[in-house]
Amino acid sequence: MSSVKNDKIPSSGEKKKRDLYLRQKQLLDTFLEHGAINRAQYDKSLGDLTVKMGMEPSGEPKV
């Protein structure tokens, strides 16, 4: 029996990580929209979040 990994189907862990990233991004979007943070703070926080979680800005994991 051969083991073949299908790169198009994310693992459960990858899906949870992506979902968490998107929820955190949505929270930052809400903060920006309501004036709780300014654009510079938003850009810094989103950039840090993206790097820390190893994601692309599109919400996809870095390959």
The whole-model pTM stands at: 0.76
Q: How confident is the model at residue 2, as a pLDDT? A: 47
pLDDT per position in the chain (63 positions), as tens? 445 555 567 689 899 999 999 999 999 999 999 999 999 999 999 999 999 999 987 778 777
Show the tokens assigned to 41. 């703070």
Label each residue of the chain as H, E or C. Answer: CCCCCCCCCCCHHHHHHHHHHHHHHHHHHHHHHCCCCCHHHHHHHHHHHHHHCCECCCCCECC
Dihedral sign (CA 32, 37, 40, 42): negative
